[in-house]
Each structure stands twice: as C-alpha cells, then as structure tokens.
Amino acid sequence: MFKAVIFGGGSGLSQLLKGMVNFPWDVTSVVSVSDNGKSTGALRKEFAIPAVGDITKVMMAMSKKPQAVKDLFMYRFDQNSSLKGHSIKNLIMTALLETEGDFTHSIPILAELLDIKGSIFPVTEDNVDLVGIKDDGTEIMGESQITEARSKIKALRYDKPVTANPRVLKALKEADLIIFSSGSLITSIMPHIIIPEIQEAVRKSKAKKLYVCNILTQPGETDDFTVSNHIDMLEKYLGRGTIDAVIANDKELPKDLRLFANSEGKDPVMIDGLELENRNIELIPDRIYSTEDGSIRHDSLKTAYLMFSYIMDQNK
C-alpha cells in the first residue's frame, strides 16, 4: 500500500482528506498547531496548549462514523453562552490534553472514538505562535493577525525555537508521496516548512513531492500569484527543484462565482505552463473546483483521484 504524507491545516486540508479516505493508501496528515483565533485561540490562552481546532477539523474529515455522529462532535455552543462558542470536538481535545499531557497520547483516544482511517500528527508538540515579516521588516505576531492584516508576507518564523514531531520525520522517511495541500499558503502550509528539521526530511525523502495549488488567490497575501509563484513560496524554504508536480484548476469559473470571488478580493490562480515546463514541474490540470454553501472549494473526490493516479503512474 502506498504511503502518503500530506501537510496542511484548517479547511483546505480537511476538504482534500474527505476524498483521500476513499482510496486504498496509508495517509498521514500533518497539521499545523499555531492558530490563535476564535475558539482555538481562547482555549490556547486559558489552558496554555497548542491549537486544537485544525487537528479536530482534520479528524472529522478522516472519521468513518455516520454524519450524525460527526455533526454532534462539530456542534458549537452559542457565543453568548458560558461555553463561549466552543465546539464539542475542541473541548474534548482540550480535556484530553489536560489529562494525557500531549497530542501523542490524546489523538489516538479521540481517533478510536471517531473510527479514523489513517494517522494524524501535529507538526510539533510545542505551544508556539507564528510571526509574519512584511516587506518593510514590520513583524505581525499571531496567525489570525497575519490573516487579518491582508499584507504581503516575505518571511515567516515562530516566536521561539520549534522541535519537529519525530513521528512526522519518520513518516516522511517512509513516504511514497509527500503532498502540500491547498489552503492558506502563508498560515496553513508554510508553518510546516519553516521548521528546519522538516525541510531537511522533505529534501532527503525519496518520495515524489506534489503540490495541490489553490484555486483562488488570497487577498493581500497572494494577489496576482500564478501557480509557479505559489511554488516559489514553498521552495523558498524547501529549496529550488523540490516540487515534482502540481495539480491546478484549468477550467474557468462560472461568471457568478468569479464575480463573487472578485467581490472578496480574490482572483483565479492562473497556470503559467511554460514556466512550470522550464522548471521540469509536471502539471496536472483539470477542473478541480466545486461549490459548497456558496463557496468555491476543491472537489475533494476529483482531486484525491488525481493525487492517487499520480502516485500510481509513478510506480508502474
């Protein structure tokens, strides 16, 4: 069975995993833990723990339980109640961290309750915050503050030294395919690869490296970015020539969706095929968008099929 390691955080990673769990491979999800907004941020502040929200969101995507059970775990209390908008899944993970001491011992317990297929690891067990560095050298502290600033970020770092999760390093060594998921390039994907141990493990791995490119740009952060510009950001830390292939949307969005995206300051990410060809990066183009609740997202099943087909082709 092929072994895939996928890096991400939040909605982008969860969306892809919904499709990935339908294919016969061993998937390890590596999740960022520096979110400091909303429910997760409040729990971090009160209990001095790493972010739990992205971890639990990924667990919901990988769970084989009936939707009614997952809906219960995802239930969120009213913001004005004494539970202040927290979701049940976040409260349970917080309780586990309090009783078990770390994600290493907490995740397997909740994974058993949710009948999880595959493995889920935080990229680090450290309780850290992201620091974004703008072009003028100004620093923005905190993941949610970086997102809200809508500013070009030229570099990222953590507020303290970070130790990579040894289980992640082991998974990278054994992987057949390493995937960098869609999602916020700055706050969901790059928090993994700014860790030197992760960079080294990715570069040393014999696995193919695949990027699932975003469908839309992110206001302030990736305005006017092409597909290769996204890869440039990854390879700034991973090293030039690390990415072997990229999945990108090549079908024009319907006019109403395009206009809605434009109203939010987003534009379709353009494929610069010649640049990718010159850099020997295999382009896997297809219609990979879908709409859910009025939002443009990756088609989870179609994108997973393309990922699985790629690794199958590489191992013929």
Which pLDDT tens digit goes with each residue over 232-258? 999 999 999 999 999 999 999 988 888
Residues 94 and 163 in one domain: no
Look at residues 274, 217, 277 and name the one whose alpha carbon lies nearest to residue 249.
217
User: Do 19 and 157 belong to one domain?
Assistant: yes
**Strand-pair partners of 139:** 133
User: Are 111 and 225 in a shared domain?
Assistant: no
| 295: β partners | 292
Distances (CA, A) of 163 to 160, 169, 279, 289: 10, 11, 32, 36
Residue-number span of the structural domain to which 214 is assigned: 3-32+123-314
Q: How far apart are CA 313 and CA 316, in angstroms?
A: 5
On whether both 220 and 173 belong to a single domain, the answer is yes
171 and 68 in a single domain? The answer is no
Residue 163: CATH number of its domain: 3.40.50.10680
Q: Do 8 and 156 reside in the same domain of the chain?
A: yes
Q: How far apart are CA 288 and CA 169, in angstroms?
A: 30
**168 and 296 belong to one structural domain:** yes
At position 162, the amino acid (one-letter code) is V
Q: Is 188 in the same domain as 301?
A: yes
Block residue for tokens 């586990």 = 96
String of DSSP letters for 200-226: HHHHH--SEEEEE--SB--TTTSTT-B
Q: Is the pTM of this model over 0.85?
A: yes
Say yes or no: 165 and 301 in one domain. Answer: yes
pLDDT value at residue 150:
83
Q: Residue 307: name the closest of 44, 18, 70, 9 by CA.
A: 18
Helix%, strand%, coil% for the chain, nearest 5: 45, 20, 35
Domain boundary among 71, 91, 117: 117
**Which pLDDT does position 63 carry in this prediction?**
94
| Positive or negative torsion for Cα 188, 236, 176, 288 | positive
pLDDT digits (tens, 9 = 90+) for 277-290: 999 999 999 999 99
When pLDDT is averaged across residues 293-312 and rounded to a whole number, the result is: 93
Of 117, 132, 153, which marks where a domain is finished?
117
Least confident of 1-5, 53-57, 151-155, 170-174: 151-155
pLDDT given at position 243: 98
Contact predicate 165/123, CB 8 Å: yes
Same domain, 306 and 177: yes
pLDDT digits (tens, 9 = 90+) for 209-224: 999 999 999 998 899 9
Cα gap 4→279, rounded to integer Å: 24
Distance CA 186, CA 183 (A): 9
Write down the pLDDT at residue 295: 82
Residue 308 pLDDT grade (very low, low, confident, very high; cuts 50, 70, 90): very high
Do residue 192 and residue 254 come from a single domain?
yes
How is 291-303 classified by DSSP, letter by letter?
A: EETTEEEE-HHHH
- Those residues whose C-beta lies under 8 Å from the C-beta of residue 242, and which sit 6 or more positions away, are 202, 203, 209, 234, 235
Sheet holding 245-249, edge to edge: 119-122, 26-31, 3-8, 177-180, 208-212, 245-249, 282-286
Q: Which of 117, 148, 169 is the last residue of a domain?
A: 117
* 137 shares a domain with 183: yes
* Domains: count for the chain: 2
Mean of the per-residue pLDDT values of the chain? 94
Q: In this predicted structure, what is the pLDDT of residue 272?
A: 97
